Amino acid sequence: MERKNYPALGDPAGPYVHAVEHNGLLFLSGLTAFGSPAQKGSVSEQAEAIFSQIASIARAEGVGLDAIAKVTIFVTSLDELVALRETLFRIYGAALPASSLVRVAGLFSPDLKIEVEAVLALS
């Protein structure tokens, strides 16, 4: 296994790495819009910021967002679900990943509405 951090994302805020690569798969830690202009925005704005981070990681690994094999999405409310789904369809295009959506009581900052974990296929 290879543990990886990406300078474009800054240093991890806790005892973890941005990603772990193993057997051609890249497992991403949960990403949020924390520290970005979208932090206080809608769930769709936060999703855009998160997938921008994922795209940055994908580019660094020589792949695109179509390499996303699986996402787990944690949301604090289902009130904006329709808008979130529209945003995700636009981001994914024809390369729909396997996906789970979980409603949670909260994330580590009260401004955050969404956190995304992803697995990318690198080969």
pLDDT digits over 61-89, tens only?
A: 999 999 999 999 999 999 999 999 999 99
Superfamily of domain 18-121: RutC-like (3.30.1330.40)
Is the dihedral angle over the CA atoms 57, 47, 117, 5 positive or is it negative?
positive
pTM equals 0.96
In the chain, domain spans: 18-121
Residue 123's pLDDT is 85
Residue 77's pLDDT is 97
Give me the residues of the chain with pLDDT under 50, please.
none
Sheet with 19-22, side-by-side order of all strands: 2-4, 19-22, 25-31, 114-121, 68-75, 98-103
Residue 13's pLDDT is 85
DSSP state of 2: E
Residue 106's pLDDT is 97
